[in-house]
A = this chain, B = another copy of it.
């Protein structure tokens, strides 16, 4: 390391304190008991737990500890950009070029708080998640789409009601992504979700 230890720790804690703000970023979906909106910090924890539990549903070659790390930091950019719900703006906002550019800028600022070696490593893991090409990233993305489905099922509709989502939209925007990384999980969840849409 090229910076003295005290300076390294100061940067690490500056990042960890900044990260606290993710707990104040609200997502569209609710808790399972529908008592309030979920925040992106607790959502990231829940996803890490999803990865631990559903590890045996991951395709061969997926390294779960990398998936867990990816999920822990995947939403940090929302500190600057906010959460962009999958079903908002009739499904066109999430992943739009404007949002992606804003998220890349946020990644630069937020991971840039860390010491250089960690800034690069964290940024690379986040880029890998966003690109959704490696088996680890594809599986992580599947879990990120799966968890809100379970929240909506437990909580009586949630964002499906808010955004008037149809079964065809759910299959296109959510099901296809879950199935890509975890086909058996989508098979199972699909059967539970289908009746909700009448």
Task: Verify B49–A23 contact, CB threshold 8 A.
Answer: no
Chain B residues whose CB sits within 8 angstroms of the CB of A48 once the complex forms: 45, 48, 68, 72
Residue from B20, B22, B41, B69 within 8 A of A154 (CB atoms): B20
With A and B bound together, what is the CA distance between A65 and B70 in angstroms? 12
What is the interface of chain A mostly: helix, strand, loop, or mixed?
A: helix
Q: Taking CB as reference atom, which chain B residue is nearest A114?
A: B53
Q: Mark A1-40, 1 if CB is under 8 A from B, else 0.
A: 0000110010011011101111110000001110100110
Give chain B residues whose Cβ lies under 8 Å from the Cβ of A32: 17, 20-21
Contact flags A63-97 to B (C-beta < 8 A → 1, else 0): 00100110011000000000000000000000000
The 5 closest A-B pairs by CB, nearest first: A45-B45, A41-B42, A65-B65, A20-B32, A42-B42
Name the interface size band of chain A: 35 or more
Q: List, in ascending order, chain B residues with CB within 8 A of A150's CB.
A: 13, 16-17
Contact A42 B16 (CB under 8 A): no
B-side contacts of A22, CB under 8 Å: 42, 45
